[in-house]
Amino acid sequence: MGLFAPLNAPIRDWRGRRVWLVGASSGIGAALARTLAARGARLVLSARRRERLEPLAAECLALQRGDTAGEAAAVDVLVAPLDVTCTADFDRVREELVACWGGLDLVVFNAGTYRPLRAWELAPAAIRETLETNLVGAMEGVAAVVPQLLRQGGGALALVGSVAGYGGLPRALVYGPSKAALINFAEALHLDLAPRGIGVFLIDPGFVATPLTAGNDFHMPALMGAAEAAEAIVAGFARGAFEIHFPRRFTLVLKLLRCLPRRVYFSLVRRATGL
């Protein structure tokens, strides 16, 4: 592999590609489902609540056909509810999908939760909820699908992290560490799986307008819409990039901050956030 070659096989043609979206019911996940459906991907939509997945599935079916009739072959969009904190759910859905489609081409782990916390607000329940959803759930999901991808001899995984995982930030006392660990996990996965022909993508969004960020009571720099975020993700897949981060005018600043001495980093973050 050349020094400047893509770290993953680029994904440019989505027609017929079998994609499992975990955490598809709202925000980036729902927007990505619509974007991929419009490009002809076959989708499996997973989240806890079936009643939120079914209207999205009908919308995606219509996009696949290029009309608003909401009619398409039954296997083009499947609804598969699951709870990422339940290990057995991943195994059950994987078996159903392999039986139906014969395999998987891409699994996107997007499920996540966010609760703004300061040091004096830490509580065991909030810690466990965030880590089990954002980190343990994703790791157990990967454990459930990697053997299938190895049997196939190909396919890809995508993990949705966050720029909050780049460094410590106020109000991200548990969320940030969960995403930092996910970034590390994705890097280790790539080292293991890329030589075996399996792609590993890391998606690190900045501030995106979703139900998770709707409750923020502070200014969110470079805030972007979920549909715009989905387009950025698809563009990253097309480049074969390992890390897909956006908006770059914001994420590159955060990356630069991490190169500074901690005294300077702490001072700039406090000044920027007013905390």
Out of 114, 166, 175, 265, pick the active-site residue: 175
Alpha carbons 215 and 50: distance in angstroms, whole number: 24
Alpha carbons 52 and 54: distance in angstroms, whole number: 6
Residues 6+ apart with CB under 8 A from 27: 208, 210, 211, 212, 226
Output the six-digit token pair for 85: 């904190």
Q: Is 265 a catalytic residue?
A: no
H or E element in which residue 109 lies: strand 106-109
Alpha carbons 20 and 111: distance in angstroms, whole number: 12
8 A C-beta contact, residue 147 and residue 107:
no
Alpha-carbon dihedral 207, 32, 249, 111, rounded to 10 degrees: 40
Residues serving a catalytic function are 175
